[in-house]
Chains A and B, each alone.
Chain A
Amino acid sequence: MSQSEIQFTFDDKTISALSGQSVGAALLAANQRSLRKTRFNKDKRGIFCGIGVCFDCLVVIDGITNQRACIIEAKPGMKVQTQDGSNA
Protein backbone atom coordinates (compact mmCIF):
# COMPACT_ATOMS: atom_id res chain seq x y z
CA MET A 1 0.00 0.00 0.00
CA SER A 2 1.94 3.05 -1.10
CA GLN A 3 0.76 6.61 -0.98
CA SER A 4 0.45 8.67 -4.09
CA GLU A 5 1.87 12.17 -4.25
CA ILE A 6 -0.34 15.17 -4.84
CA GLN A 7 0.46 18.85 -5.27
CA PHE A 8 -1.05 22.10 -4.10
CA THR A 9 0.11 25.70 -4.00
CA PHE A 10 1.04 27.76 -0.96
CA ASP A 11 1.29 31.42 -1.87
CA ASP A 12 3.65 31.27 -4.88
CA LYS A 13 5.20 27.87 -4.11
CA THR A 14 4.22 24.39 -5.21
CA ILE A 15 4.05 21.95 -2.31
CA SER A 16 4.06 18.16 -2.57
CA ALA A 17 2.04 16.05 -0.19
CA LEU A 18 1.36 12.38 0.24
CA SER A 19 -2.33 11.63 -0.19
CA GLY A 20 -4.00 11.66 3.22
CA GLN A 21 -1.65 14.21 4.71
CA SER A 22 -3.00 17.42 6.10
CA VAL A 23 -2.13 20.77 4.53
CA GLY A 24 -0.25 21.66 7.72
CA ALA A 25 1.78 18.45 7.77
CA ALA A 26 2.74 18.84 4.12
CA LEU A 27 3.77 22.45 4.68
CA LEU A 28 5.86 21.49 7.71
CA ALA A 29 7.53 18.73 5.71
CA ALA A 30 8.40 21.43 3.16
CA ASN A 31 9.94 23.48 5.99
CA GLN A 32 7.13 26.00 6.06
CA ARG A 33 6.62 26.64 9.77
CA SER A 34 4.80 29.98 9.66
CA LEU A 35 1.27 29.87 8.35
CA ARG A 36 -0.23 33.21 9.25
CA LYS A 37 0.19 36.60 10.92
CA THR A 38 -2.03 37.58 13.81
CA ARG A 39 -4.60 40.37 13.51
CA PHE A 40 -3.30 42.89 15.99
CA ASN A 41 0.41 42.33 16.52
CA LYS A 42 1.16 40.71 13.17
CA ASP A 43 3.01 37.90 14.97
CA LYS A 44 3.80 34.76 13.04
CA ARG A 45 1.96 31.60 14.02
CA GLY A 46 2.21 27.99 12.91
CA ILE A 47 0.98 24.60 14.09
CA PHE A 48 0.64 24.49 17.86
CA CYS A 49 -1.69 21.75 19.10
CA GLY A 50 -1.74 19.85 15.83
CA ILE A 51 -5.18 18.33 16.44
CA GLY A 52 -7.61 21.10 15.51
CA VAL A 53 -8.26 22.53 18.96
CA CYS A 54 -6.17 25.71 19.14
CA PHE A 55 -7.05 27.40 15.80
CA ASP A 56 -3.53 28.77 15.45
CA CYS A 57 -2.66 27.04 12.17
CA LEU A 58 -5.11 29.12 10.13
CA VAL A 59 -4.64 29.46 6.41
CA VAL A 60 -6.79 30.63 3.54
CA ILE A 61 -7.90 27.71 1.36
CA ASP A 62 -9.52 28.43 -2.00
CA GLY A 63 -10.51 31.88 -0.80
CA ILE A 64 -12.03 30.83 2.52
CA THR A 65 -10.35 32.16 5.67
CA ASN A 66 -9.83 30.53 9.08
CA GLN A 67 -9.13 27.03 7.76
CA ARG A 68 -7.21 24.80 10.17
CA ALA A 69 -4.24 23.47 8.22
CA CYS A 70 -3.51 20.66 10.68
CA ILE A 71 -6.80 18.84 10.15
CA ILE A 72 -7.73 19.66 6.55
CA GLU A 73 -6.54 17.07 4.09
CA ALA A 74 -4.45 18.40 1.22
CA LYS A 75 -6.23 17.94 -2.10
CA PRO A 76 -4.70 18.24 -5.58
CA GLY A 77 -4.84 21.79 -6.90
CA MET A 78 -5.82 23.42 -3.61
CA LYS A 79 -4.90 27.11 -3.44
CA VAL A 80 -3.55 27.72 0.04
CA GLN A 81 -2.39 31.13 1.20
CA THR A 82 -0.88 32.74 4.28
CA GLN A 83 -3.64 34.30 6.34
CA ASP A 84 -2.67 37.88 7.07
CA GLY A 85 -4.68 38.96 10.10
CA SER A 86 -8.22 38.03 9.19
CA ASN A 87 -7.98 39.31 5.62
CA ALA A 88 -7.96 36.99 2.69
Chain B
Amino acid sequence: MHNVVIVGGGPAGLSAALAAAAAGAPVLLIDSNSRLGGQYWRNSVSELENQNEQHFDLATGLLLINAVKARKEIEVWSEAQIWSATNNEGKNTLRVIHQGKEKIVNTANLILCTGAYDRTLPFPGWDIPGVMTPGGVQSLLKGHGVLAGKQVVVAGTGPFLLPVAAGVIKAGGEIVSLIEANKSRRWLTSIIVILENLSKLKEAFYYIKTISQGKVRAQFGYAVIAAHAADNGELESVDIAKIDRNFKVKKVKNIKCDVAAIGWGFTADTSLAGSLGCKQVVAKDESVVVWVDSEQQTNIPGVFAAGEITGIGGSELSMAEGVIAGIAAAKFVGCKVDVLKAHRKRRAKRQRFANALIKAYPIKAGWQLWPNDQTTICRCEEVSLGDLKFSVEELGATDSRTAKLFTRCGMGLCQGRICGRSVVDLVAKELNVLPTDIDRISAVNRPIITPIPLGVLAQGE
Protein backbone atom coordinates (compact mmCIF):
# COMPACT_ATOMS: atom_id res chain seq x y z
CA MET B 1 0.00 0.00 0.00
CA HIS B 2 1.29 3.41 -0.87
CA ASN B 3 1.76 6.20 1.60
CA VAL B 4 -0.60 9.10 1.87
CA VAL B 5 1.56 12.21 1.69
CA ILE B 6 0.16 15.28 3.42
CA VAL B 7 1.61 18.77 3.10
CA GLY B 8 0.89 21.15 5.96
CA GLY B 9 0.63 20.55 9.70
CA GLY B 10 -2.18 22.92 10.62
CA PRO B 11 -5.79 22.04 11.52
CA ALA B 12 -6.54 20.50 8.10
CA GLY B 13 -3.31 18.57 7.75
CA LEU B 14 -3.36 17.19 11.29
CA SER B 15 -6.98 16.09 10.91
CA ALA B 16 -6.27 14.48 7.56
CA ALA B 17 -3.23 12.67 8.94
CA LEU B 18 -5.18 11.21 11.85
CA ALA B 19 -8.12 10.22 9.65
CA ALA B 20 -5.93 8.52 7.07
CA ALA B 21 -3.87 6.72 9.71
CA ALA B 22 -7.01 5.59 11.52
CA ALA B 23 -8.26 4.18 8.23
CA GLY B 24 -5.10 2.13 7.93
CA ALA B 25 -2.95 4.18 5.55
CA PRO B 26 0.63 5.05 6.51
CA VAL B 27 1.15 8.81 6.36
CA LEU B 28 4.04 11.12 5.62
CA LEU B 29 3.29 14.61 6.94
CA ILE B 30 5.51 17.35 5.55
CA ASP B 31 5.44 20.68 7.42
CA SER B 32 7.56 23.77 6.95
CA ASN B 33 7.47 24.98 10.55
CA SER B 34 9.57 23.75 13.43
CA ARG B 35 6.45 22.91 15.44
CA LEU B 36 3.20 21.36 14.23
CA GLY B 37 0.01 23.37 14.49
CA GLY B 38 0.23 25.60 11.42
CA GLN B 39 -0.60 29.27 11.84
CA TYR B 40 -3.75 28.70 13.81
CA TRP B 41 -2.22 26.70 16.63
CA ARG B 42 1.05 28.54 16.98
CA ASN B 43 2.73 27.36 20.12
CA SER B 44 6.12 27.51 21.69
CA VAL B 45 8.18 25.65 24.21
CA SER B 46 7.03 27.90 27.05
CA GLU B 47 4.79 26.93 29.94
CA LEU B 48 1.51 25.31 28.98
CA GLU B 49 -0.82 27.43 31.12
CA ASN B 50 0.47 30.65 29.65
CA GLN B 51 -0.24 29.33 26.22
CA ASN B 52 -3.81 28.43 27.04
CA GLU B 53 -4.30 31.96 28.22
CA GLN B 54 -3.20 33.25 24.85
CA HIS B 55 -5.36 30.96 22.89
CA PHE B 56 -8.98 29.94 23.21
CA ASP B 57 -8.78 26.43 21.89
CA LEU B 58 -5.12 25.56 21.86
CA ALA B 59 -6.17 22.54 23.90
CA THR B 60 -7.80 21.07 20.80
CA GLY B 61 -4.70 21.78 18.81
CA LEU B 62 -2.39 20.16 21.31
CA LEU B 63 -4.68 17.14 21.37
CA LEU B 64 -4.32 16.68 17.62
CA ILE B 65 -0.60 17.44 17.62
CA ASN B 66 0.10 14.93 20.38
CA ALA B 67 -2.11 12.34 18.72
CA VAL B 68 -0.16 12.74 15.49
CA LYS B 69 3.13 12.44 17.30
CA ALA B 70 1.93 9.34 19.12
CA ARG B 71 0.92 7.39 16.01
CA LYS B 72 3.82 5.46 14.59
CA GLU B 73 2.00 5.20 11.24
CA ILE B 74 2.51 8.94 10.81
CA GLU B 75 6.02 10.04 9.91
CA VAL B 76 6.56 13.78 10.34
CA TRP B 77 9.13 15.90 8.54
CA SER B 78 9.33 19.30 10.22
CA GLU B 79 11.18 22.32 8.83
CA ALA B 80 10.75 20.78 5.41
CA GLN B 81 10.20 23.20 2.51
CA ILE B 82 8.92 22.07 -0.85
CA TRP B 83 10.57 24.13 -3.57
CA SER B 84 9.09 22.40 -6.60
CA ALA B 85 6.19 20.06 -7.28
CA THR B 86 5.34 18.56 -10.64
CA ASN B 87 2.71 16.12 -11.78
CA ASN B 88 3.51 13.68 -14.53
CA GLU B 89 0.95 11.09 -15.58
CA GLY B 90 -0.38 10.23 -12.18
CA LYS B 91 2.89 10.63 -10.33
CA ASN B 92 3.43 13.65 -8.16
CA THR B 93 7.04 14.57 -7.50
CA LEU B 94 7.74 16.80 -4.53
CA ARG B 95 11.23 18.23 -4.19
CA VAL B 96 11.75 18.94 -0.54
CA ILE B 97 14.54 20.72 1.29
CA HIS B 98 14.87 18.96 4.62
CA GLN B 99 17.81 19.23 6.99
CA GLY B 100 19.88 21.11 4.43
CA LYS B 101 19.51 18.45 1.75
CA GLU B 102 17.09 17.85 -1.04
CA LYS B 103 14.74 14.88 -0.78
CA ILE B 104 12.50 13.68 -3.57
CA VAL B 105 9.08 12.32 -2.70
CA ASN B 106 7.15 10.54 -5.42
CA THR B 107 3.56 9.76 -4.68
CA ALA B 108 0.32 9.04 -6.47
CA ASN B 109 -1.60 10.21 -3.43
CA LEU B 110 -1.31 13.66 -1.95
CA ILE B 111 -3.31 15.88 0.38
CA LEU B 112 -2.54 19.59 0.18
CA CYS B 113 -3.22 21.58 3.34
CA THR B 114 -0.97 24.55 2.80
CA GLY B 115 -3.20 27.03 4.58
CA ALA B 116 -3.38 30.79 4.31
CA TYR B 117 -1.74 33.99 5.47
CA ASP B 118 -3.03 37.45 6.37
CA ARG B 119 -4.28 39.50 3.49
CA THR B 120 -2.89 43.03 3.50
CA LEU B 121 -3.85 46.21 1.68
CA PRO B 122 -1.31 48.87 0.72
CA PHE B 123 -1.53 52.37 2.18
CA PRO B 124 0.99 55.16 2.66
CA GLY B 125 3.55 54.04 5.22
CA TRP B 126 2.53 50.38 5.39
CA ASP B 127 6.17 49.46 4.86
CA ILE B 128 7.45 51.29 7.95
CA PRO B 129 8.98 48.94 10.57
CA GLY B 130 6.29 48.54 13.21
CA VAL B 131 3.43 47.99 10.79
CA MET B 132 2.65 44.27 10.90
CA THR B 133 -0.12 41.80 10.31
CA PRO B 134 -2.32 40.39 13.09
CA GLY B 135 -0.88 36.97 12.23
CA GLY B 136 2.61 38.33 12.73
CA VAL B 137 1.80 39.82 16.11
CA GLN B 138 0.05 36.57 17.07
CA SER B 139 2.96 34.42 15.91
CA LEU B 140 5.49 36.50 17.82
CA LEU B 141 3.39 36.16 20.94
CA LYS B 142 2.29 32.55 20.79
CA GLY B 143 5.24 31.10 18.96
CA HIS B 144 8.05 33.10 20.50
CA GLY B 145 6.70 34.69 23.65
CA VAL B 146 7.41 38.21 22.43
CA LEU B 147 5.02 41.13 22.56
CA ALA B 148 5.51 43.13 19.38
CA GLY B 149 5.05 46.52 21.02
CA LYS B 150 3.71 48.41 23.98
CA GLN B 151 1.12 50.63 22.30
CA VAL B 152 -0.70 48.53 19.79
CA VAL B 153 -3.27 49.40 17.17
CA VAL B 154 -5.31 46.45 15.91
CA ALA B 155 -7.22 47.14 12.70
CA GLY B 156 -8.64 45.76 9.50
CA THR B 157 -11.57 43.44 9.26
CA GLY B 158 -12.62 40.02 10.43
CA PRO B 159 -13.07 38.07 13.65
CA PHE B 160 -9.34 37.30 13.81
CA LEU B 161 -8.72 40.80 15.17
CA LEU B 162 -10.40 39.85 18.45
CA PRO B 163 -8.05 37.08 19.61
CA VAL B 164 -5.07 39.15 18.54
CA ALA B 165 -6.21 42.10 20.65
CA ALA B 166 -7.03 39.81 23.57
CA GLY B 167 -3.62 38.21 23.34
CA VAL B 168 -1.86 41.56 23.48
CA ILE B 169 -3.83 42.56 26.55
CA LYS B 170 -3.16 39.29 28.37
CA ALA B 171 0.53 39.74 27.65
CA GLY B 172 0.51 43.17 29.25
CA GLY B 173 0.40 45.36 26.18
CA GLU B 174 -1.87 48.36 25.71
CA ILE B 175 -4.38 48.42 22.88
CA VAL B 176 -4.55 52.08 21.94
CA SER B 177 -7.13 51.41 19.27
CA LEU B 178 -9.14 48.40 18.12
CA ILE B 179 -11.01 49.15 14.93
CA GLU B 180 -13.08 47.05 12.56
CA ALA B 181 -13.89 48.36 9.10
CA ASN B 182 -17.26 46.66 8.82
CA LYS B 183 -20.31 46.90 11.03
CA SER B 184 -20.50 43.79 13.18
CA ARG B 185 -24.22 43.33 13.07
CA ARG B 186 -24.22 41.62 9.68
CA TRP B 187 -23.57 38.00 10.49
CA LEU B 188 -25.61 38.16 13.61
CA THR B 189 -28.67 38.60 11.44
CA SER B 190 -28.48 34.99 10.30
CA ILE B 191 -30.33 33.06 12.99
CA ILE B 192 -29.43 29.65 11.66
CA VAL B 193 -25.78 30.47 11.74
CA ILE B 194 -25.93 31.62 15.34
CA LEU B 195 -27.84 28.57 16.52
CA GLU B 196 -25.48 26.22 14.73
CA ASN B 197 -22.44 27.90 16.12
CA LEU B 198 -23.14 28.76 19.73
CA SER B 199 -19.60 27.71 20.60
CA LYS B 200 -18.38 30.46 18.31
CA LEU B 201 -20.43 32.98 20.25
CA LYS B 202 -18.86 31.68 23.43
CA GLU B 203 -15.46 32.20 21.88
CA ALA B 204 -16.35 35.71 20.78
CA PHE B 205 -17.61 36.61 24.26
CA TYR B 206 -14.41 35.26 25.76
CA TYR B 207 -12.39 37.69 23.70
CA ILE B 208 -14.79 40.56 24.21
CA LYS B 209 -14.58 40.03 27.96
CA THR B 210 -10.79 40.12 27.84
CA ILE B 211 -10.80 43.22 25.73
CA SER B 212 -13.22 45.10 27.91
CA GLN B 213 -11.15 44.12 30.93
CA GLY B 214 -8.33 45.89 29.15
CA LYS B 215 -10.59 48.94 29.02
CA VAL B 216 -10.68 48.85 25.25
CA ARG B 217 -13.75 49.54 23.17
CA ALA B 218 -13.84 48.32 19.62
CA GLN B 219 -14.93 50.86 17.04
CA PHE B 220 -16.77 49.84 13.90
CA GLY B 221 -16.53 51.56 10.55
CA TYR B 222 -12.94 52.72 10.96
CA ALA B 223 -9.67 51.85 9.21
CA VAL B 224 -5.99 52.70 9.30
CA ILE B 225 -5.33 54.56 6.06
CA ALA B 226 -1.79 55.82 6.62
CA ALA B 227 1.20 55.26 8.87
CA HIS B 228 3.90 57.74 9.83
CA ALA B 229 7.50 57.27 10.82
CA ALA B 230 9.53 59.01 13.46
CA ASP B 231 12.91 60.50 12.55
CA ASN B 232 14.51 57.09 12.99
CA GLY B 233 12.34 55.72 10.18
CA GLU B 234 10.24 53.53 12.49
CA LEU B 235 6.52 53.63 13.25
CA GLU B 236 5.35 56.53 15.36
CA SER B 237 1.68 56.99 14.57
CA VAL B 238 -1.16 56.01 12.27
CA ASP B 239 -4.05 57.87 10.69
CA ILE B 240 -7.37 56.31 11.54
CA ALA B 241 -10.27 57.24 9.30
CA LYS B 242 -13.99 56.91 9.75
CA ILE B 243 -15.03 55.16 6.54
CA ASP B 244 -18.34 54.68 4.81
CA ARG B 245 -19.63 51.27 3.77
CA ASN B 246 -17.56 51.42 0.59
CA PHE B 247 -14.42 52.12 2.57
CA LYS B 248 -14.23 55.73 1.41
CA VAL B 249 -12.57 58.08 3.88
CA LYS B 250 -14.73 60.52 5.80
CA LYS B 251 -12.86 61.87 8.80
CA VAL B 252 -9.27 61.29 9.88
CA LYS B 253 -7.51 61.41 13.23
CA ASN B 254 -3.95 60.57 14.17
CA ILE B 255 -3.03 58.09 16.94
CA LYS B 256 0.38 57.40 18.39
CA CYS B 257 1.49 53.75 18.49
CA ASP B 258 4.58 51.61 18.14
CA VAL B 259 2.91 48.62 16.50
CA ALA B 260 -0.02 48.44 14.12
CA ALA B 261 -1.43 44.96 13.51
CA ILE B 262 -3.54 45.32 10.37
CA GLY B 263 -5.22 42.46 8.56
CA TRP B 264 -7.92 42.15 5.93
CA GLY B 265 -8.96 38.54 6.04
CA PHE B 266 -6.79 35.87 4.48
CA THR B 267 -5.17 34.81 1.25
CA ALA B 268 -4.92 31.10 0.51
CA ASP B 269 -1.43 29.83 -0.29
CA THR B 270 -2.15 27.74 -3.36
CA SER B 271 1.37 27.85 -4.84
CA LEU B 272 1.92 24.13 -4.41
CA ALA B 273 -1.46 23.19 -5.82
CA GLY B 274 -1.01 25.50 -8.79
CA SER B 275 2.45 24.17 -9.45
CA LEU B 276 1.06 20.64 -9.70
CA GLY B 277 -1.56 21.84 -12.14
CA CYS B 278 -4.62 21.71 -9.88
CA LYS B 279 -7.55 23.71 -11.17
CA GLN B 280 -7.94 26.97 -9.32
CA VAL B 281 -11.05 29.13 -9.14
CA VAL B 282 -11.94 32.50 -7.72
CA ALA B 283 -14.04 32.36 -4.53
CA LYS B 284 -16.72 34.78 -3.37
CA ASP B 285 -14.17 36.81 -1.43
CA GLU B 286 -12.10 37.08 -4.62
CA SER B 287 -9.37 34.86 -3.27
CA VAL B 288 -7.95 32.22 -5.57
CA VAL B 289 -8.66 28.77 -4.17
CA VAL B 290 -8.23 25.17 -5.26
CA TRP B 291 -11.27 23.47 -6.75
CA VAL B 292 -12.29 20.21 -5.05
CA ASP B 293 -15.20 17.80 -5.37
CA SER B 294 -17.40 16.58 -2.51
CA GLU B 295 -14.63 14.30 -1.26
CA GLN B 296 -12.01 17.02 -1.31
CA GLN B 297 -10.36 15.65 -4.46
CA THR B 298 -8.93 18.16 -6.91
CA ASN B 299 -9.22 17.76 -10.66
CA ILE B 300 -6.08 15.61 -10.49
CA PRO B 301 -7.00 12.06 -9.38
CA GLY B 302 -5.19 11.19 -6.20
CA VAL B 303 -4.49 14.81 -5.30
CA PHE B 304 -6.73 16.08 -2.50
CA ALA B 305 -6.91 19.46 -0.83
CA ALA B 306 -8.36 20.58 2.48
CA GLY B 307 -8.43 23.64 4.66
CA GLU B 308 -8.05 27.28 3.76
CA ILE B 309 -6.72 26.57 0.28
CA THR B 310 -10.13 25.27 -0.75
CA GLY B 311 -11.78 28.40 0.60
CA ILE B 312 -11.13 30.64 3.61
CA GLY B 313 -13.34 29.30 6.35
CA GLY B 314 -11.53 29.00 9.66
CA SER B 315 -10.05 26.18 11.67
CA GLU B 316 -13.18 24.16 12.32
CA LEU B 317 -14.13 23.95 8.67
CA SER B 318 -10.49 23.06 7.94
CA MET B 319 -10.65 20.18 10.40
CA ALA B 320 -13.91 18.88 8.93
CA GLU B 321 -12.43 19.03 5.43
CA GLY B 322 -9.21 17.42 6.59
CA VAL B 323 -11.06 14.42 7.99
CA ILE B 324 -12.92 13.90 4.72
CA ALA B 325 -9.74 14.30 2.67
CA GLY B 326 -7.89 11.84 4.91
CA ILE B 327 -10.63 9.22 4.54
CA ALA B 328 -10.96 9.77 0.80
CA ALA B 329 -7.21 9.55 0.34
CA ALA B 330 -7.04 6.34 2.37
CA LYS B 331 -9.82 4.95 0.19
CA PHE B 332 -7.81 5.97 -2.88
CA VAL B 333 -4.88 3.83 -1.76
CA GLY B 334 -7.13 0.85 -1.12
CA CYS B 335 -8.28 1.10 2.50
CA LYS B 336 -11.78 -0.14 3.13
CA VAL B 337 -13.27 3.04 4.42
CA ASP B 338 -15.83 5.62 3.40
CA VAL B 339 -16.79 9.19 4.09
CA LEU B 340 -19.82 9.17 6.37
CA LYS B 341 -22.91 11.33 6.23
CA ALA B 342 -21.96 12.72 9.62
CA HIS B 343 -18.69 13.99 8.19
CA ARG B 344 -20.44 15.73 5.35
CA LYS B 345 -23.05 17.25 7.65
CA ARG B 346 -20.39 18.65 9.92
CA ARG B 347 -18.52 20.14 6.99
CA ALA B 348 -21.70 21.65 5.59
CA LYS B 349 -22.57 23.27 8.90
CA ARG B 350 -19.13 24.81 9.21
CA GLN B 351 -19.23 25.89 5.59
CA ARG B 352 -22.41 27.82 6.30
CA PHE B 353 -20.67 29.61 9.14
CA ALA B 354 -17.71 30.39 6.92
CA ASN B 355 -19.99 31.77 4.22
CA ALA B 356 -21.71 33.98 6.77
CA LEU B 357 -18.37 35.36 7.86
CA ILE B 358 -17.35 36.16 4.32
CA LYS B 359 -20.59 38.06 3.86
CA ALA B 360 -20.07 39.90 7.12
CA TYR B 361 -16.55 41.09 6.47
CA PRO B 362 -16.29 42.19 2.86
CA ILE B 363 -13.50 44.36 1.54
CA LYS B 364 -14.83 47.25 -0.48
CA ALA B 365 -13.07 49.04 -3.31
CA GLY B 366 -12.71 52.32 -1.45
CA TRP B 367 -9.33 51.09 -0.19
CA GLN B 368 -7.94 51.70 -3.65
CA LEU B 369 -8.08 55.42 -2.94
CA TRP B 370 -5.95 55.16 0.21
CA PRO B 371 -2.57 54.74 -1.56
CA ASN B 372 -1.09 57.71 -3.42
CA ASP B 373 1.40 57.66 -6.29
CA GLN B 374 4.36 57.44 -3.90
CA THR B 375 2.93 54.52 -1.93
CA THR B 376 4.94 51.32 -2.26
CA ILE B 377 2.74 48.61 -3.74
CA CYS B 378 5.31 45.86 -4.30
CA ARG B 379 7.34 45.88 -1.11
CA CYS B 380 10.04 43.51 -2.33
CA GLU B 381 10.90 45.47 -5.47
CA GLU B 382 9.88 48.91 -4.16
CA VAL B 383 7.42 49.53 -6.97
CA SER B 384 5.08 52.44 -6.31
CA LEU B 385 1.51 53.04 -7.40
CA GLY B 386 2.90 55.74 -9.68
CA ASP B 387 5.17 53.18 -11.36
CA LEU B 388 2.18 50.89 -11.92
CA LYS B 389 0.12 53.73 -13.36
CA PHE B 390 2.97 54.64 -15.71
CA SER B 391 3.13 51.09 -16.99
CA VAL B 392 -0.56 51.26 -17.85
CA GLU B 393 -0.81 54.82 -19.11
CA GLU B 394 2.49 55.19 -20.91
CA LEU B 395 3.80 51.72 -21.63
CA GLY B 396 0.47 50.25 -22.59
CA ALA B 397 0.06 47.44 -20.06
CA THR B 398 -3.48 46.14 -20.29
CA ASP B 399 -3.36 43.48 -17.61
CA SER B 400 -1.60 42.89 -14.33
CA ARG B 401 0.75 40.31 -15.83
CA THR B 402 2.15 42.80 -18.34
CA ALA B 403 2.29 45.53 -15.70
CA LYS B 404 4.34 43.07 -13.65
CA LEU B 405 6.80 42.53 -16.51
CA PHE B 406 7.24 46.26 -17.02
CA THR B 407 7.63 47.21 -13.35
CA ARG B 408 9.06 44.11 -11.63
CA CYS B 409 6.01 44.17 -9.38
CA GLY B 410 5.60 40.72 -7.90
CA MET B 411 9.01 39.52 -9.10
CA GLY B 412 10.80 39.86 -5.81
CA LEU B 413 11.46 37.37 -3.08
CA CYS B 414 7.86 36.90 -2.01
CA GLN B 415 6.88 36.32 -5.66
CA GLY B 416 3.75 38.41 -5.37
CA ARG B 417 2.30 36.74 -2.28
CA ILE B 418 1.85 40.09 -0.58
CA CYS B 419 1.15 42.46 -3.46
CA GLY B 420 -0.37 40.16 -6.08
CA ARG B 421 -4.03 40.57 -5.19
CA SER B 422 -3.74 44.32 -4.75
CA VAL B 423 -1.94 44.75 -8.07
CA VAL B 424 -4.72 42.97 -9.93
CA ASP B 425 -7.29 45.35 -8.42
CA LEU B 426 -5.19 48.49 -8.87
CA VAL B 427 -4.30 47.78 -12.49
CA ALA B 428 -7.93 46.98 -13.30
CA LYS B 429 -8.93 50.26 -11.67
CA GLU B 430 -6.45 52.15 -13.88
CA LEU B 431 -7.90 50.46 -16.92
CA ASN B 432 -11.46 51.03 -15.75
CA VAL B 433 -12.30 47.36 -16.03
CA LEU B 434 -13.17 44.58 -13.63
CA PRO B 435 -10.40 42.12 -12.85
CA THR B 436 -10.90 38.81 -14.60
CA ASP B 437 -10.53 35.40 -13.03
CA ILE B 438 -7.60 34.81 -15.35
CA ASP B 439 -5.87 37.91 -14.00
CA ARG B 440 -6.35 36.68 -10.45
CA ILE B 441 -5.26 33.12 -11.12
CA SER B 442 -2.21 34.02 -13.19
CA ALA B 443 -1.04 36.26 -10.34
CA VAL B 444 -0.53 33.15 -8.17
CA ASN B 445 1.42 31.14 -10.72
CA ARG B 446 4.71 30.11 -9.02
CA PRO B 447 6.56 27.10 -10.43
CA ILE B 448 9.40 27.68 -7.98
CA ILE B 449 7.54 27.60 -4.69
CA THR B 450 10.26 28.81 -2.34
CA PRO B 451 13.80 30.06 -2.99
CA ILE B 452 16.36 27.24 -3.10
CA PRO B 453 20.13 27.71 -2.85
CA LEU B 454 21.77 27.01 -6.21
CA GLY B 455 24.15 24.62 -4.50
CA VAL B 456 21.27 22.47 -3.25
CA LEU B 457 19.59 22.64 -6.67
CA ALA B 458 22.84 21.59 -8.34
CA GLN B 459 23.33 18.54 -6.17
CA GLY B 460 19.87 17.08 -6.56
CA GLU B 461 18.81 14.35 -8.95
Which of A's residues lie within 8 Å of B, judged by CB?
A: 1, 3, 18-22, 24-26, 28-29, 33-35, 38-41, 43-56, 58, 66, 70-71, 73
Contacts and interface: CB of A to CB of B under 8 A. Distances in A.
B131 interface: yes
B139 A66 contact: no
Given A43-B382, A45-B129, A25 B144 contact: yes
**CB-CB nearest 8 A-B residue pairs:** A50-B136, A46-B129, A25-B144, A55-B413, A44-B233, A25-B146, A33-B129, A20-B45
A51 B45 contact: no
Contact of B233 (A24, A34, A40): A34
A52 B39 CA distance: 11
A3 to B, nearest CB: 6
Given A28-B140, A43-B127, A47-B136, A54 B414 contact: yes
Contact of B140 (A1, A50, A52, A55): A50
B137 interface: yes
A41 to B, nearest CB: 5
Given A28-B146, A55-B380, A70-B139, A50 B133 contact: yes
A28 B148 contact: yes
Given A3-B46, A43-B233, A38 B139 contact: no
Given A21-B144, A28-B148, A50 B135 contact: yes
A42 B109 CA distance: 47
Contacts of A39: 382
A61 to B, nearest CB: 13
A60 to B, nearest CB: 14
A45 B127 contact: yes
Interface residues of B, number: 44
B45 A73 contact: no
B interface majority secondary structure: loop
Most buried by B among A24, A43, A46, A54: A54
Contacts of A28: 140, 146, 148
B210 interface: no
Interface in B110-152: 117-118, 120, 127-133, 135-140, 143-146, 148
B417 interface: yes
A28 B130 CA distance: 10
A48 B233 contact: no
B62 to A, nearest CB: 14
A21 B412 CA distance: 27
Contacts of A44: 128-129, 233-234
16 contacts: A20-B34, A22-B143, A26-B144, A26-B146, A33-B235, A35-B129, A43-B376, A45-B127, A46-B130, A48-B379, A50-B137, A52-B32, A53-B414, A55-B380, A56-B379, A70-B140
A48 B382 contact: no
Contact of A1 (B45, B120, B135): B45
Given A22-B143, A54-B414, 5 more contacts: A43-B376, A44-B129, A53-B414, A71-B33, A73-B34
A34 B131 CA distance: 11
Contact of A51 (B34, B117, B145, B382): B117
Contact of B136 (A19, A26, A51): A51
Contact of B382 (A22, A40, A53): A40
Contacts, number: 115
Contacts of A25: 140, 143-146
B394 interface: no
Most buried by B among A1, A24, A56, A58: A56
Nearest to B415: A55
B282 to A, nearest CB: 20
Contact of B135 (A51, A55, A73): A51
Contacts of A20: 34, 44-45, 144
Contacts of A48: 127, 131-133, 136, 379, 418
B451 interface: yes
Contacts of B130: 33, 46
A34 B380 contact: no
A1 B44 CA distance: 12
B382 A54 contact: no
B140 A49 contact: no
Contacts of B128: 44
